[in-house]
Structure 1
């Protein structure tokens, strides 16, 4: 039986959840002995109402193949697979970015697979949230609530951040209630950590713990500079190494989700690697940062812009980049059709080229769940002929529970032909209730029912 989700009763860690911020409205001493006392309290009193608690609950569905020995024992009519459903609950944080529309940004991993999402505001209100869209590769999700008198955070230009800038983390660690910690920006452009597919993190030593995911990293003006998403925690707790998704990256993704209902990932069409000291020495250049281009795809955005094999891309829209991974993350979180200026080094000379990003022909596993909940966990791409190919299916995902397997090609929905991803999304938008997927598997056709 499904129980009603409540933030006030979500004592998942053995403590009642409260939403009162650590900073109170009590009078703050302005001076001690005639000298002013520095305090973050005035800024936080304006900022903390924009950071919310996010509580979720849902059901993980998994399938396990029944061994032949058991099927023989129970007879040939015994099921070939056993379906298991495991309920789950979770807590995280979120940031209000648009008070009028009620938009809230959080991490995709906070709400992934949730059937119900409840938002707790700092004034005690609890509201159900609607999922607008997600991007699993960058770990961003956009929610919406219907409420008045909300406070939103203004987004800063995260490309202006420097190592040493002060940073303040606001979130809901361990379900204790809203908590504020402070530190500095420890590094920029962190990648290659294996946390997400697209990595371009701000690193900070402001304490971030479990439950801070989706919360705000702000500057001393109370402006959003990043969304807290991960920590390095060898012992399970904070050790002063936390990571946040830059506000500019969040802004690009959110704008696409609001406009299109999904992320339309930009594609440059290059393969490459980080610039190493050996490569730099071999090419006779003195820079140690950038993305070395190994391959340029024919007829791609890079090819049309004149980017060549052996080029070293050192900046995007006038902002320096440290690595190929940072280049990849910046490009992939910009929308298709975006005009981008790339600074590069070719044969020792600096050049600038302009490219119009192409559009990805794939959808990620989480994005497939936005197309239809029972497709979540399937990675889709346009078929070389007609239809949509299932490239991957995550074990235990709704897509696996629906009966989809790697290599299936979706060619129809009910009686309507599906030619590509665009038509698949379009047809499913108009369908209500159960739908029948027409699948081509090897040399046979079959129907799978999505409920």
Structure 2
């Protein structure tokens, strides 16, 4: 009690009386806050989601529905217009790219989106601009809206979430209750409460009480937790540091029954998330890494000895881990110098890196229960992860195809096709993902689950090379295909249906 009383006395002594000037430290802190809010606030926008009224046969386009015959005129610039579905966004390019959450947009085929932002060199005015979806990714819960014909918008300055620590001051900027349409996002202040927090899995009607399949990377512990106040409508807003740099994209409230306060979360803006954002800005959905092993948590005796990491329980034949020399019993301790703690930590680090990325892995090989083990560093080139998501991503540019055939990384096949062979075998880099019935590729005998080994007499190391080799071909093209049972055959794909 004496310690508490002493602390109260110190706090009251720091507070100025009406006749006193605030201490320099408080004035400096206040100045940093106001400067950060002013600097970053110009880049935070209000978003409204407005339901379309389109017939079913007119909903195949991602371009937004503008008012026309048979539809009421929606005028978001009218002060009387108050959206019922609203959120926040962050300007990430001067020419109109706006970052927000995937869950904010819902289905672009069924909704229009309007964005309010501050004009450059003028007072804040309501600017309601029909926006177009470039791409959205449910795995990272990120999406990009584009305001067409925009220029000189105040793009936010990106920070690096990998450098933040618990206890650092942060500011949340967003559009609570849709009140930021005047161009001034609301601010709240707090600290970084914790790091690498896990999002709660979303219930699935089909799960029947069982644990639902993972639908987000953030279920494995990526999120920044903050006690900054995040009200309804702040999803898609900016979490910034005292320099006004964006270190997180606010994403959700984790309300707990029986508690008045909620914990706020933000997606960290670090190297891997910036790579995903860049891919979305290109109008494409990002792909993520796959290692190809079964990890397990360390048993308690090893943890009691101070060891940390993930044990390799099984290495899958033909996968990136096997090609890099990993084997059952290895202890993975670091990925690119980042310490790993447990199977979930390994899964998180692999699943947030881009497909085909090169990573450096630190291993302990031998018997971790004794001193009979040695440290080893190996380089691994990741494959592409197959994601079974209930909500698919969307992109402005469709996946490439050729004569009805679509290929991808070999590891991107569904597990049933990837491992549905009579015996373990080498997984080749390029797999047939889909074939449209009735097309030249289909009629030639190509089917999902096969692997493309060669185009003509040239080897195919990756999907991009395949499309590069076939794009200029005007005649029939010979493909060397490896199918179930390692059966190799040469298939000629004609230019047209025969």
* TM beyond 0.5: yes
Change (3 A) 1:390 1:290: closer
SS at the partner of 2:247? strand
Indicate whether 1:90 and 2:85 are aligned. yes
Q: 2:114 aligns with which of 109, 115, 118?
A: 118
Structure 1: where are the runs of 5+ without partners? Answer: 1-30, 64-87, 374-380, 392-408, 427-451
Instruction: Work out whether 1:253 is the aligned partner of 2:247.
Output: no
Please, which of 91, 96, 101 is the counterpart of residue 102 of structure 1?
A: 96
How far apart are 1:280 and its partner, in Å?
Answer: 2.7
**Distance apart, 1:314 and its partner CA:** 2.9
Question: Residue 217 of structure 1 is aligned with which of 239, 247, 250?
Answer: 239
Contact 1:118 1:128 in 2 (8 A): yes
Residues of 1 paired with 2:37 and 2:441: CA distance? 54
Q: TM-score, normalised by structure 1?
A: 0.65
Give the secondary-structure state (helix, strand or coil) at the position aligned to 1:153. Answer: coil
Could you tell me which residue of structure 1 aligns to residue 385 of structure 2?
A: 360
Matches within 5 A, 1:258-273: 258-259=281-282, 261-273=284-296
**Residue in 2 aligned with 1:156?**
159
Aligned to 1:3: none
- Give the structure with higher Rg (CA): 2
Deviations 1:369-392 (A, max 9, x none): 44899xxxxxxx989x9xx9899x
1:82 corresponds in structure 2 to: none
Q: What's the offset of the Cα at 1:108? A: 0.4
- In structure 2, stretches of 5+ residues that fail to align are 1-19, 57-82, 119-123, 203-214, 369-373, 399-405, 417-432, 450-462, 468-498
* 1:244 positional shift: 1.1
Q: 1:351 aligned to 370, 376, 390, which one?
A: 376
Is the 2:136–2:142 Cα contact (8 Å) retained in structure 1? Answer: yes
C-alpha distance in 2 between matches for 1:194 and 1:107:
17
Q: Aligned runs of 1:186-335 on 2, under 5 Å?
A: 186-191=193-198, 193-194=200-201, 196-199=215-218, 200-234=222-256, 239-248=261-270, 249-259=272-282, 261-275=284-298, 277-278=300-301, 280-281=303-304, 285-287=305-307, 289-335=308-354
1:131 is aligned to 133
Matches within 5 A, 1:12-31: none
| CA-atom RMSD in angstroms | 3.6
Q: How far apart are 1:159 and its partner, in Å?
A: 1.3
Distance 1:107 1:237 in 2: 26
Q: 1-side partners of 2:258 and 2:114: how far apart? A: 26
For residue 42 of structure 1, the aligned residue among 35, 56, 72 is 35
Q: Which residue of 2 aligns with 1:58?
A: 51
Q: What whole-Å deviation, never above 9, does each CA across 1:7-59 have from its counterpart, x for those lacking one? A: xxxxxxxxxxxxxxxxxxxxxxxx93673612111121111011111111236
The residue that corresponds to 2:75 in the other structure is none
Distance 1:261 1:299, change over 3 A: same
Cα distance in 2, alignment partners of residues 308 and 390 from structure 1:
21
Q: Which range moves more in the overlay, 52-61 or 134-143?
A: 52-61
Q: More deviation in 144-153 or 268-277?
A: 268-277
Q: Distance in 1 between matches of 2:198 and 2:41?
A: 29
**Is 1:412 matched with 2:436?**
yes
Number of equivalences: 337
Distance (whole Å) between structure 2 residues aligned to residue 298 and residue 389 of structure 1: 16
Partner of 1:336: 355
Gap change, CA 1:189 and 1:142, over 3 Å in 2? same
Q: What stretches of structure 1 move > 6 A for 4+ residues in a row? A: 388-391
TM value normalised by structure 2 = 0.60
Structure having the higher strand fraction is: 1
What whole-Å deviation, never above 9, does each CA across 1:116-149 have from its counterpart, x for those lacking one?
Answer: 1111113332222221111102211122223123
TM-aligned CA distance change 1:311 to 1:176, over 3 Å = farther
Query: Residue by residue, what CA displacement relative to the aligned partner does 1:404-438 show, whole Å, maximum 9, x if unpaired?
Result: xxxxx964277565656989xx9xxxxxxxxxxxx
User: Structure 1 CA distance, aligned partners of 2:129 and 2:232?
Assistant: 22
The answer as to whether partners of 2:143 and 2:280 remain within 8 angstroms in 1 is no
Contact 2:250–2:267 at 8 Å: present in 1 too? yes
CA contact (8 A) 1:264 1:336 kept: yes
Q: How far did residue 273 of structure 1 move?
A: 3.8
